Amino acid sequence: MLATYRFGPQTGTPLLIVHGLFGSARNWGVLAKRFAVRRPVLTVDMRNHGASFHAASNGYEDMAADLAEVIAAHGGVADILGHSMGGKAAMVLALSRAAMVRRLIVADIAPVAYGHTQLPLAEAMRDLDLTGIERRSEADAALRPRVSDDTTRAFLLQSLDLKSAPPRWRLNLDVLADEMPRILSWPEIAGRHDGPVLFITGGASDYVRPEHRPVIRTLFPRARFVKIPGAGHWLHAERPRDFGSAIETWLDAK
């Protein structure tokens, strides 16, 4: 089963938080503890990420099945918050196993295929010579020529295990690179999810565009939309207070 971390009360319907590509449960620690004041919270490392198992495939049907296993082990039903890749996995779960998903929150992603690629980031990490690197600042300097954006580099380096001898990435970079076309795509899946769904997006992000709304409403008829002004794709990291408040307001609404 996926590496799973629990916060908050032992009773009640949990909120399961699902990270995006190259992320991990640890990226969501601060928000998980905030949400756990009112409800049990579960965070996971997705397959080929963090402390979870490595596998040869990284498709959305696989990831949805992984999440179903976690939910089954923690009461059989959950509210789910998924960001980016994790949001797609959560949507596939809701469409294929609706009874497991009470409320769904999708952060800055749509149920569509995307034309961009994150393959250069996977290749930059895979090509990085970790020999002799002892500090994160050294890894940062070595990665800078291939990844110029400071925020992106800092995010990627959270998955570098410097306590390992030698240092290693907590990512199965070979599989993630090979499976990038599937990660960027959207699987052929029938049906719709009639439960409440919140699509929360960054005002400065273009991942969820007006032309995506028809397909969103077809698959999720009860979809509602909230935008965080000034936030980009990593809206939970850039505007954590606004993001957390929007989530809590929607979860607490009757």
First to last CA, the chain: 33
- Out of 3.30.70.2740, 3.40.50.1820, 1.10.1060.10, 3.90.550.10, which CATH number does the structure's domain 4-114+185-252 have? 3.40.50.1820
Q: Where are the domains of the chain?
A: 4-114+185-252, 119-178
DSSP label at residue 192:
-
Using one digit for the tens of pLDDT, what is the confidence trace for 196-208? Answer: 999 999 999 999 9
Encode the chain (254 residues) as per-residue pLDDT tens digits: 999 999 999 999 999 999 999 999 999 999 999 999 999 999 999 999 999 999 999 999 999 999 999 999 999 999 999 999 999 999 999 999 999 999 999 999 999 999 989 999 999 999 999 999 999 999 999 999 999 999 899 999 999 999 988 899 999 999 999 999 999 999 998 889 999 999 999 999 999 999 999 999 999 999 999 999 999 999 999 999 999 999 999 999 86
Using one digit for the tens of pLDDT, what is the confidence trace for 28-82? Answer: 999 999 999 999 999 999 999 999 999 999 999 999 999 999 999 999 999 999 9
- The values of phi and psi at residue 104, to 5°, are -125, 135
Q: Strand, helix or coil at 169?
A: strand
Q: Strand, helix or coil at 56?
A: coil
- The reported pLDDT for the residue numbered 204 is 95
Residue percentage of the chain with pLDDT more than 90:
94
- The reported pLDDT for the residue numbered 254 is 67
- The reported pLDDT for the residue numbered 165 is 86
* Residues involved in catalysis: 84, 174, 233
Do the Cβ atoms of 102 and 195 come closer than 8 Å?
yes
Angle (deg, nearest 10), helices 119-127 and 150-157: 60
